Structure 1
């Protein structure tokens, strides 16, 4: 298995919301092609009801075993990057836990109980990097349907080796 990685920067928005149970909501805004020389959790801009933060650096890992998933993401026409964050010790501070270009892994994050998850458009530069990886390492796997071979499993189910049902009466 081949693996490559790329560091990126992550920008988040903290938005004030009118809700009786929570007073704000986090959402990813963008993934920067490169890591800027900015400290994590630096405020980038502030408005009355929303604040943009540079959350910090993160790593996108690509694995040769997942090229079909990356290819599907790119073929969609609007490739996405999934970003997951988790609250530290149940508090207000967030930590970046995962940034991925794999849609299967991204969808699994939605079901994992991660505190904040979202997608952002994949930049053309990152899309080119992912496409080059897919071009170099993707191997098409052909599906082969298994044929019955008349083993004892077939006989236990009451079938003869040809797959027909046996009449025991």
Structure 2
């Protein structure tokens, strides 16, 4: 499904940042756009920065279910700084998977914005996730039947002749002999 990405530019709150940029909403089914101005209120301007496809994969159904279980279901918009003056960010990705968004957030180069999903998009993602989600059956781990009362070979350092401390290092044994 194509999603238009709306980015808001507002005045910065410090003297070091002239503008503050934030992805604020998505437009399901939007046509292509390239930083088209859609609203101006005083110093605040909203742009339709671009339209990207929201791709869903059956293997990620668990991640979608996790995202939908949040108090406010969201999509994640991944932005990367651009060298072009009139297009300060390149819109890389839009995803409904919080796991995929976390991967992009971990690299430190990209800006990941959490944007609330419109109701129709929530229903669309939920239908897809429910159709592809498979509950994994809980498998209780069983204890090994290994015998622990046998003689253990290979513990410690064989260069230490004392049986009292098999984990002691050879260097500490040499020091004791010298003193």
Give yes or no for TM over 0.5: yes
Contact 1:79 1:127 in 2 (8 A): yes
Contact 2:8 2:24 in 1 (8 A): yes
Contact 2:76 2:94 in 1 (8 A): yes
Shift of 1:165: 6.0
Partner SS for 1:142:
coil
Contact 1:73 1:80 in 2 (8 A): yes
Aligned to 1:7: 2
Cα distance in 1 between the residues matched to 2:122 and 2:74: 9
Cα distance in 2 between the residues matched to 1:165 and 1:94: 65
Partner SS for 1:130:
helix
Q: Give TM-score scaled by structure 1 length.
A: 0.78
Aligned to 2:44: 50
Partner SS for 1:78:
coil
Contact 1:86 1:115 in 2 (8 A): yes
Aligned to 2:166: none
Partner SS for 2:55:
strand
1:28 maps to 2:23: yes
Partner SS for 1:46:
strand
Greater length-normalized contact order (CA 8 Å, ≥ 6 residues apart): 1
Aligned to 2:119: 124
Cα distance in 1 between the residues matched to 2:111 and 2:10: 13
Aligned to 2:74: 80
Aligned to 1:155: none
Contact 1:14 1:25 in 2 (8 A): yes
- Judged with a 3 Å threshold, the aligned counterparts in structure 2 of structure 1 residues 40 and 166 are, in CA distance, closer, same or farther, namely same
Answer with 1 or 2: which has the greater Rg.
2
Q: Which has the higher strand share?
A: 1
Unaligned runs of 5+ residues in structure 2 are 153-162, 164-179
Contact 2:5 2:23 in 1 (8 A): yes
1:101 maps to 2:96: yes
Aligned to 1:139: 134
- Judged with a 3 Å threshold, the aligned counterparts in structure 2 of structure 1 residues 75 and 39 are, in CA distance, closer, same or farther, namely closer
Partner SS for 1:62:
coil
Corresponding pairs, count = 152
Shift of 1:166: 4.8
Cα distance in 2 between the residues matched to 1:26 and 1:8: 19
Q: Give TM-score scaled by structure 2 length.
A: 0.74
